[in-house]
Amino acid sequence: MYEKRVGRAYQRDLAIAMVVYLVLLFGTILYARGMADGILRTLLLVSPIVGVVLLVWALARHMQRVDEFVRKFALENMSLAAGLTAGLTFTYGFLETAGFPRLSMFAVLPLMFILYGVIACARAIANRE
């Protein structure tokens, strides 16, 4: 019962964060192009970070709510994903100097989330056996 309640609270917090992010992102896309350079345009362009901060807040709250085993497992997965992301992005930086195309920094966070998912699935499968 507690796990379901915690899961629903996390899904609610995550949904709110994503809605805020998407609203700010689409607002930025719609309005920033037509604006003159300046502080107001800059603030508008960075406003989607509010949704990212809410996402981090949702994750932190979820980590506080779950039991020690789930917390340990999730933090290990995050650590592995962060380490792999750092290694891959650093390696790709060397490849860029060898002529590979430049990648946007926007690729880093999705890469880390994808690696987290792959690691979590692989570890869950490995622990079943």
Are 80 and 20 part of one and the same domain? no
Q: What is the pLDDT of residue 2?
A: 86
Are 95 and 116 part of one and the same domain? yes
Are 2 and 59 part of one and the same domain? yes
What is the value of pTM for the model shown?
0.77
Are 87 and 104 part of one and the same domain? yes
Alpha-carbon Rg for the chain, nearest whole angstrom, is 18
Q: What is the pLDDT of residue 128?
A: 86
Q: Collect the ranges in the chain with pLDDT lower than 50.
A: none
What is the C-alpha separation between 112 and 83, in angstroms, rounded?
9
Give, as one character, the DSSP assignment of residue 106. G
Domain count, the chain: 2
Are 30 and 58 part of one and the same domain? yes
Q: What is the pLDDT of residue 66?
A: 93
- Residue 116 belongs to what domain range? 67-129
Q: What is the pLDDT of residue 16?
A: 97
